[in-house]
């Protein structure tokens, strides 16, 4: 497919009636560009066809079922785009709330941040939030920095952070980047085992990072015991909110005893992600950690006015420019208000129901190693099929030919040939059935026509990619 630049023919143009202010009205004349900017010339129809075709080559939630385990690729309702596109928000300058006397011009935006922090506190049972982290892993790093600040303040000598082998892959990375030694605790029967934890827990442990449900989609049933054990050595418990979609409205992590939590607004709260948009990883803390949160903090005066408060001497300081990805926060705020407490809880119930429905329908067709009631996702294994030459990768590619986005494969690492399926709450039963029917058909082909699976996909614009060559011979730049 040619690029729009290659399709450009000098002199062709479209027309679009302008509304509102022209750029000239608010950009100083001396800052306006006077030369040609080299944009392609094309008619409106050329442009429409080009970008429509380009979008059709992409596989996204708007067009296809997207059961990418661990990623919560739920549908992103379009009304939140309308809210995020309101000119009262899009035309704000991020410096406004920091300018003397200009705070009054951005009260709405400050209120959105203030209210979102409080809604997230209510949903998770935490005491306070920062919205600054730009995505999940940034939230983790912020959380671990908060742990470090807490221990430093108390004069604790802590060098280690415990991460279960069923945790998210970014957890050990975040702990290591913050300067801690990472200690792995192995799962027993798919979850963290108190005895295994006791074997690695000592006074040098700063904290433990958990995902609940974990990456196997299993609920961690020993949480109360784990909380007690950690408190004994003054270690903090961190909740990786990547899987909040399984417990939202059902369990508040703060009530259970988690000290720090990060949420992925771009997952649980339905804002676009992956190729579709930036993330947002707010971090919530219990009361004793509030003083360490990053600055600035949005605060409310007695007269109801909102302002930015920088007066927090024990804060870990700045972790991001300005206030995080405000547009994402805005969409999440709209989503939370639209669904309300009842809606958020029903979303959770439907997500868990959909995953369990699919898991049961796979019975006898594909092995599910930890086969018990799961939460919002489950992990199947193609280990038996791999012995016949058809691996998880081939299943994933064959599903593309059937018009589905592939599930996550080869993660978590503790299940060989893993296929991790997360349907989310936004899919109807027909879609779930369609996917499972196709997956069963593929599993049956393993015996009758394995070659067809090994050759998949054959219906897409690009067929089987050479992943090895892509990784070995990386060329990340191009002479344009």
Distance CA 323, CA 132 (A): 5
CB of 393 to other proteins, least distance (A): 8
Q: How many residues bind other proteins (CB under 8 A)?
A: 7
- Measured from the CB atom, the residue of 22 and 471 that comes closer to other proteins is 471
Burial class (CB in 10 A: 0-12, 13-18, 19+), 301: exposed
CB of 470 to other proteins, least distance (A): 8
Who's near 249: CB < 8 A, 6+ residues apart?
123, 341, 344, 345, 346, 347, 348
- Measured from the CB atom, the residue of 448 and 468 that comes closer to other proteins is 468
- Measured from the CB atom, the residue of 384 and 441 that comes closer to other proteins is 384
Q: Write the interaction track for other proteins spanning residues 227-246; mark x where CB under 8 A is met and - where it is not.
A: --------------------
Encode 251-276: b = buried (16+ Cβ within 10 Å), e = exposed: bbbbebbbbbbbbbbbbbbbbbbeee
Question: First vs last Cα of the chain: how many Å apart?
Answer: 16
* Contact (CB, 8 A) for 263 and 244: yes
CB of 322 to other proteins, least distance (A): 35
CB of 472 to other proteins, least distance (A): 5
- Measured from the CB atom, the residue of 192 and 392 that comes closer to other proteins is 392
CB of 211 to other proteins, least distance (A): 18
- Residue numbers 449-478 binding other proteins by CB under 8 A: 467-468, 471-472
Beta bridge partners of 240: 211, 262
Q: What token pair was written down for 98? A: 């920091």
Distance CA 271, CA 58 (A): 18
> Residue 189 interacts with other proteins (CB under 8 A)?
no
- Measured from the CB atom, the residue of 336 and 398 that comes closer to other proteins is 398
- Measured from the CB atom, the residue of 36 and 467 that comes closer to other proteins is 467
Q: What is the DSSP letter of 157?
A: -
CB of 374 to other proteins, least distance (A): 23
- Measured from the CB atom, the residue of 357 and 410 that comes closer to other proteins is 410
Phi/psi of residue 68, nearest 5 degrees: -75, 100
CB of 410 to other proteins, least distance (A): 4
CB of 419 to other proteins, least distance (A): 13
Residue 254, CA distances (Å) to 83, 322, 347 in order = 30, 27, 20
- Residue numbers 63-92 binding other proteins by CB under 8 A: none
Give the containing element (helix H, strand E) for 408: strand 408-409
* Chosen residue from 57, 413, 433, 461 binding other proteins by CB under 8 A: 413
CB of 243 to other proteins, least distance (A): 21
Whose tokens are 């600055």? That residue is 295
* Contact (CB, 8 A) for 294 and 318: yes
Q: Write the interaction track for other proteins spanning residues 356-395; mark x where CB under 8 A is met and - where it is not.
A: ----------------------------------------
* Chosen residue from 46, 50, 227, 410 binding other proteins by CB under 8 A: 410
Q: What three-state secondary structure class fits 381?
A: strand
> Residue 416 interacts with other proteins (CB under 8 A)?
yes
- Measured from the CB atom, the residue of 100 and 468 that comes closer to other proteins is 468
Q: What token pair was written down for 310? A: 């920088």
Distance CA 51, CA 2 (A): 11
- Which of 303, 259, 320, 290 lies closest to 133, judged by CA? 320
Other C-beta atoms closer than 10 Å to the C-beta of 408 total 21
- Measured from the CB atom, the residue of 89 and 410 that comes closer to other proteins is 410
- Measured from the CB atom, the residue of 78 and 472 that comes closer to other proteins is 472
- Measured from the CB atom, the residue of 2 and 472 that comes closer to other proteins is 472
Who's near 54: CB < 8 A, 6+ residues apart?
1
Distance CA 293, CA 291 (A): 6
CB of 416 to other proteins, least distance (A): 8
Positions that interact with other proteins (CB under 8 A): 410, 413, 416, 467-468, 471-472
């Amino acid at each position: 497919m040619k690029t729009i630049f290659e399709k450009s023919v000098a002199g062709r143009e479209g027309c679009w009636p302008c509304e509102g202010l022209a750029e000239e009205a608010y950009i100083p004349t001396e800052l306006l560009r006077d030369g040609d900017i080299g944009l392609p010339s094309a008619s409106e129809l050329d442009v429409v066809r080009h970008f429509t075709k380009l979008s059709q080559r992409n596989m996204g939630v708007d067009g296809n079922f997207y059961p990418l385990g661990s990623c919560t690729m739920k549908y992103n309702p379009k009304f939140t785009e309308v809210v995020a596109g309101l000119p009262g928000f899009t035309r704000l300058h991020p410096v406004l709330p920091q300018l003397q006397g200009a705070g009054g011009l951005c009260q709405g935006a400050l209120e959105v941040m203030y209210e979102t922090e409080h809604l997230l506190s209510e949903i998770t049972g935490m005491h306070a939030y920062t919205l600054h982290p730009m995505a999940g892993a940034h939230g983790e790093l912020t959380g671990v920095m908060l742990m470090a600040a807490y221990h430093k303040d108390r004069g604790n000598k802590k060098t280690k952070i415990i991460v279960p082998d069923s945790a998210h892959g970014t957890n050990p990375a975040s702990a290591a980047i913050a300067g801690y030694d990472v200690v792995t605790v192995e799962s027993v029967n798919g979850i963290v085992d108190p005895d295994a934890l006791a074997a690695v827990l000592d006074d040098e442990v700063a904290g433990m990072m958990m995902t609940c449900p974990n990456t196997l989609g299993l609920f961690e049933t020993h949480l109360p015991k784990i909380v007690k054990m950690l408190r004994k050595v003054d270690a903090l418990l961190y909740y990786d909110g990547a899987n909040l979609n399984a417990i939202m409205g059902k369990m508040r992590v703060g009530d259970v005893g988690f000290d720090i939590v990060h949420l992925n607004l771009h997952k649980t709260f339905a804002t676009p992600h992956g190729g579709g948009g930036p993330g947002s990883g707010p971090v919530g803390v219990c009361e004793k950690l509030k003083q360490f949160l990053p600055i600035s903090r949005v605060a409310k005066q007695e007269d109801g006015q909102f302002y930015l408060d920088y007066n927090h001497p024990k804060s870990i300081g700045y972790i991001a420019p300005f206030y995080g990805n405000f547009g994402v926060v805005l969409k999440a705020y709209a989503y939370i208000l639209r669904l309300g407490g009842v809606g958020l809880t029903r979303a959770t119930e439907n997500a868990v129901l959909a995953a369990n429905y699919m898991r049961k329908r796979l019975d006898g067709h594909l092995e599910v190693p930890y086969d018990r009631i799961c939460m919002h996702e489950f992990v199947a294994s193609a280990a038996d099929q791999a012995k016949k030459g058809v691996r998880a990768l081939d299943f994933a590619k064959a599903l593309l030919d059937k018009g589905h986005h592939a599930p996550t494969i080869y993660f978590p690492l503790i299940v060989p040939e893993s296929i991790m399926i997360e349907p989310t709450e936004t899919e109807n039963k027909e879609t779930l059935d369609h996917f499972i029917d196709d997956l069963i058909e593929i599993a049956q082909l393993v015996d009758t026509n394995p070659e067809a699976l090994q050759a998949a996909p054959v219906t897409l614009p690009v067929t089987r990619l050479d992943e090895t060559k892509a990784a070995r011979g990386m060329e990340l730049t191009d002479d344009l």
